């Protein structure tokens, strides 16, 4: 278990969130409350969140989520992490789809708690604004690493363990290549550091594109609604 060296990264607050996006989420919360109070009878319509979230492909969006300063601090922390814990593939996945990763819940719990806070207070309201759907329970939050030696690119896959995927590049200017291809939609070049790529996991077949040089680091959220899943199984015949 790794203990964060930079205290700022363990602070459960919104200092690391892009200010424009944070303000849009705050201005949208009353509209979400009104929508919930009427049990979804009325259409929520456009919200301030829609002004900061941009559609790339059908049901694939981007939004500035983290400040660049946060990304730089996290990259410095990752350099120290590597001295104590190793990036390793998920052995439950087939070899083609294994990406070297650090799983935050088990390996860096301080950072996991902070990212959990971001899910509850920033990302989930964005999901409700876009899809009128809560998705606030992480199945995993991880730091993934593409590089020439260990994993140059990904293979076609769905993120089977989640309902909504959020992928945030941390060091876009430090490598060559990368990006994401969505099946039947096209290629998306790497987003700026701190900008989140958001999409429903089970409807978007995708893969990471080859890194030509350097190390590509991503902060990856796989999210679901645990209670909705439990209710679904309880109602099965």
Q: Report if residue 3 sits inside a domain.
A: no
| pLDDT for res 148 | 56
- Bridge partners of 64, per DSSP, are 195
Instruction: Examine residue 9 and state whether it is found in any structural domain, yes or no.
Output: no
How many separate domains does the chain show? 1
- Contact partners, residue 148, CB within 8 Å, separation at least 6: 211, 212, 213
Residue 95: per-residue pLDDT: 52
* β-pair partners for 206: 157, 182
Asked, for residue 150, whether it belongs to a domain, the answer is yes
Domain-embedded: residue 1: no
Contact 74, 170 (CB under 8 A): yes
pTM over 0.75: yes
pLDDT for 186:
92
Confirm whether 6 is domain-assigned: no
Instruction: Round to whole Å and give the CA distance between 96 and 92.
Output: 12
- Domain with residue 91: its CATH number is 2.60.120.620
Contact yes or no for 9/77 (Cβ under 8 A): yes
The parts of the chain modelled with pLDDT lower than 70 are: 89-98, 147-154, 229-237
E strand or H helix at 70: helix 68-81
Judge whether 217 lies within some domain.
yes
> Using alpha carbons only, what angle is made at residue 173 by residues 168 and 177, rounded to the nearest 5 degrees?
80
4 falls within a domain: no
Domain that holds residue 79: 14-234
In a domain, 226, yes or no: yes
What pLDDT does 154 receive? 63
Identify the pLDDT of residue 216.
Answer: 92
The answer to whether residues 210 and 175 touch, using CB atoms and an 8 Å cutoff, is: no
Question: Among residues 185, 66, 200, which one has the least CA distance to residue 131?
Answer: 200
């Amino acid at each position: 278990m790794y203990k964060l060296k930079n205290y700022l990264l363990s602070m459960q607050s919104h200092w690391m969130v892009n200010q424009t996006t944070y303000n849009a989420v705050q201005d949208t919360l009353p509209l979400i409350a009104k929508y919930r109070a009427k049990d979804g009878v009325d259409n929520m319509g456009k919200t301030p969140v829609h002004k900061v979230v941009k559609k790339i492909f059908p049901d694939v969006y981007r939004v500035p989520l983290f400040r660049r300063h946060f990304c730089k601090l996290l990259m410095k922390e990752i350099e120290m992490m590597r001295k104590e814990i190793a990036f390793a593939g998920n052995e439950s996945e087939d070899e083609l789809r294994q990406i070297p990763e650090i799983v935050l819940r088990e390996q860096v719990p301080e950072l996991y708690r902070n990212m959990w806070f971001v899910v509850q207070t920033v990302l989930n309201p964005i999901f409700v604004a876009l899809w009128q759907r809560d998705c606030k329970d992480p199945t995993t939050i991880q730091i993934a690493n593409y590089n020439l030696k260990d994993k140059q690119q990904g293979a076609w896959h769905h993120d089977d363990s989640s309902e909504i995927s959020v992928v945030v590049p941390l060091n876009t200017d430090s490598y060559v290549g990368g990006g994401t291809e969505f099946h039947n939609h096209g290629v998306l070049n790497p987003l700026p550091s701190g900008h989140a790529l958001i999409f429903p996991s089970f409807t978007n077949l995708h893969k990471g594109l080859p890194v030509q040089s350097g190390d590509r680091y991503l902060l990856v959220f796989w999210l679901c609604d645990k209670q909705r899943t439990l209710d679904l199984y309880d109602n099965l015949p």
